[in-house]
Structure 1
């Protein structure tokens, strides 16, 4: 049973904003998570059996669905229609993450719901957008990154391109969706009408790619890399991320390593273009040098010489770091640690952990009662299949 956090209410600028979340997995839930953390009332509509993310064996579902209320609704059942219509009238925002055409078949597309509520802002998040020859293609984060040109680019000087450990396209799409929704809310203040938003995950990822590389690049390249700006293993098996790009930071590194690597203080490495030109020799030399001391010694020396260095942390270590604790980034409820929307407002920690992710349909009766359905009507919905039989698994995706 999800319980409210004992923490403060935090910064809740979206209090009173009502969000209807039909999405699953990560892009849509990440979008509505930002809104929920900032105070919006998010009702997560799950199919019988729940969001597929509940079955994934890591923390993503619980991290992405805090501060939301879960109801179960079988959108394929005609008897669920009165509930959908009342939810549409209640909401300010609707978010869905189906392939194009599915929302219309389920009767939750913007064209249908806006006839009930012309002020409704609808956001559709799909792999490739609602139009175009690839709009119906299936996919996940990796596919969208490939389509965006992102996977042609290496992340390390001496390695071929490979995927990130984070779902960049999913998170980019969720972020852009939240921004677009907030912009649409502002526009609605002026026009009094809602809008249909159409966001493709591949396009969100392409936007991220273009910011760094533009669109003239037609090959793999190391132009965005520096041999000195990378991960380096130390004598104790830890890794340190060195952010050495500017000349002053290179000079600091050379000074920190002077006693064991005087050869680095050489004219051949005297400026950034020469270090890049000789990068295939410099990168392995730096790796050899870094392995000669443990991480604690290196971090002390780098602090003395103002070198941008950070010991690579696990998520657990990051959450317990002095910096994270000082900034009150991590909040706890039900024995779970979360990092609600990471912003300070007026000098205080913003956002709040109000409760952890609910069980499937935990708030169904509560929400239906708030929509003015009487107990007898709720019982009728349950017997008709509108709320789905308990044994039935997911049927829309």
Structure 2
């Protein structure tokens, strides 16, 4: 591991599978934490059949396959935890406690251990024992309300909000618990609910619900996606700013709309958006770029995922990096986006083969950098 990383020396043992837990440990690994992924013998993480997904979420980690129902494997897990700072799991409430691996069990053995659990609904409440994937949790959390106003039979959202949000909140919870441990010397239990995480991201919308006042940015006619002459798309995101509106109208040749205030714009959203769209459709995206840039306008291209490696800003930020997988193929993966002035990100390495690090010393035997 690179020594000069923000989380150098931090060791995490994780039994969390599929998405939220692996996302959290991927972010922490990028910052330099040593992550040991405990997988199921024989099959490993259930997401291993999605090769690209698994590689993206688990690069740079180590793999040990253990069946905790076997005394010898449970003892091996406890030996790994002896030198760990964090234990992360994603089982339904009470499942690990029945194996003698609940928070009360492990904190008695390792009082400094931070124990984080990511579940669908948290450790308490009437839904705590329910199963559920992201779509169900988005629905309960309030994130699908817009779908009720349109085609509820359409494809589900491609952004897995519950998985992503709970992974991010797990990182926040773990780092907060570690900071508290620095003060007190005592670990703690971190309870992360996926449905809670969805609703938390909707805090501003919940605050506005049923309240009088200005409508949200989406009510503006120039807060939308527009099609250019070449079939490419751009976004305009004028949320409420009169100066940007006036500048846009001048650039589009819609001088009669200059000076229109937000209440009038919102009340006439549909016809105004149609007028903007008609002008945008007369030029290609490449032609609009210098016009929008010269005006300092709130605009941007709508990228396909395949476009991201070529986007000049994303390339400059080194957000994507190409890695070589264990099967010899290559793929782009996304780094965590936090950059430090005093610390480097850890080098990105391929995901481990199942049980690749069984019996390793967990010190200096990481697979070579790709």
TM-score range, shorter chain: 0.7 to 0.9
**RMSD of Structure 2 on Structure 1 (CA):** 2.5
* 293, 296, 300: which one aligns with 1:310: 300
- Alignment map for 1:147-166 (pairs within 5 Å): 147-153=140-146, 164-166=157-159
Give 3-state SS (helix, strand or coil) of 1:301's partner. helix
* 169, 181, 184: which one aligns with 1:188: 181
What per-residue deviation string (whole Å, max 9, x for no partner) do you get for residues 177-230 of structure 1? 111111111111121111011110100111111134327449xx9634122111
Stretch of structure 1 that moved more, 92-101 or 302-311? 302-311
CA distance in 2, matches of 1:214, 1:266: 32
What per-residue deviation string (whole Å, max 9, x for no partner) do you get for residues 6-54 of structure 1? xxx4851111111011001111111111111111110000012011111
Q: 1:50 touches 1:360 (CA, 8 Å); kept in 2?
A: yes
TM value normalised by structure 1: 0.82
Q: 1:228 touches 1:244 (CA, 8 Å); kept in 2?
A: yes
Q: 1:11 touches 1:345 (CA, 8 Å); kept in 2?
A: no
Q: 1:180 touches 1:197 (CA, 8 Å); kept in 2?
A: yes
* 216, 232, 235: which one aligns with 1:223: 216
Q: 1:154 touches 1:222 (CA, 8 Å); kept in 2?
A: no
CA distance in 1, matches of 2:135, 2:194: 11
1:91 Cα deviation (Å)?
1.0
CA distance in 1, matches of 2:184, 2:341: 30
Distance 1:237 1:340, change over 3 A: same
1:121 Cα deviation (Å)?
0.5
Equivalent residue number for residue 378 of structure 1: none
Q: Are 1:342 and 2:337 an aligned pair?
A: yes
Equivalent residue number for residue 198 of structure 2: 205
CA distance in 2, matches of 1:56, 1:331: 19
* 288, 292, 299: which one aligns with 2:282: 292
1:355 Cα deviation (Å)?
1.1
Q: Are 1:73 and 2:66 an aligned pair?
A: yes
* 324, 328, 331: which one aligns with 2:314: 324
1:93 Cα deviation (Å)?
0.3
Equivalent residue number for residue 238 of structure 1: 232
What per-residue deviation string (whole Å, max 9, x for no partner) do you get for residues 301-327 of structure 1? 211222111111122322222212222
* 331, 339, 352: which one aligns with 1:358: 352
What per-residue deviation string (whole Å, max 9, x for no partner) do you get for residues 257-314 of structure 1? 11xxx3x6337x7111111110122223322222221111122221122211111112
CA distance in 2, matches of 1:139, 1:289: 45
Q: 1:88 touches 1:116 (CA, 8 Å); kept in 2?
A: no
Distance 1:227 1:213, change over 3 A: farther
CA distance in 1, matches of 2:45, 2:281: 46
CA distance in 2, matches of 1:98, 1:65: 18
Distance 1:43 1:347, change over 3 A: closer
Which structure is higher in RCO with an 8 Å CA cutoff and minimum separation 6?
A: 1
Q: 1:234 touches 1:291 (CA, 8 Å); kept in 2?
A: yes
Distance 1:327 1:223, change over 3 A: closer
Give 3-state SS (helix, strand or coil) of 2:235's partner. strand
Q: Are 1:265 and 2:256 an aligned pair?
A: yes
1:146 Cα deviation (Å)?
1.1
* Gapped regions of structure 1 (runs ≥ 5): 371-397
Q: 1:340 touches 1:353 (CA, 8 Å); kept in 2?
A: no
TM value normalised by structure 2: 0.87
* Gapped regions of structure 2 (runs ≥ 5): 325-329, 364-370
CA distance in 2, matches of 1:95, 1:217: 39
Give 3-state SS (helix, strand or coil) of 1:333's partner. strand
CA distance in 2, matches of 1:240, 1:10: 42
Q: 1:234 touches 1:293 (CA, 8 Å); kept in 2?
A: yes
Equivalent residue number for residue 248 of structure 2: 253
CA distance in 1, matches of 2:256, 2:100: 68
What per-residue deviation string (whole Å, max 9, x for no partner) do you get for residues 330-383 of structure 1? 2333133323222222277x413341111111111325x87xxxxxxxxxxxxx
Distance 1:325 1:357, change over 3 A: same
Q: Are 1:83 and 2:76 an aligned pair?
A: yes
Distance 1:34 1:165, change over 3 A: same
What per-residue deviation string (whole Å, max 9, x for no partner) do you get for residues 100-149 of structure 1? 12222233321121222111110000010011100111111111111111
CA distance in 2, matches of 1:336, 1:357: 12
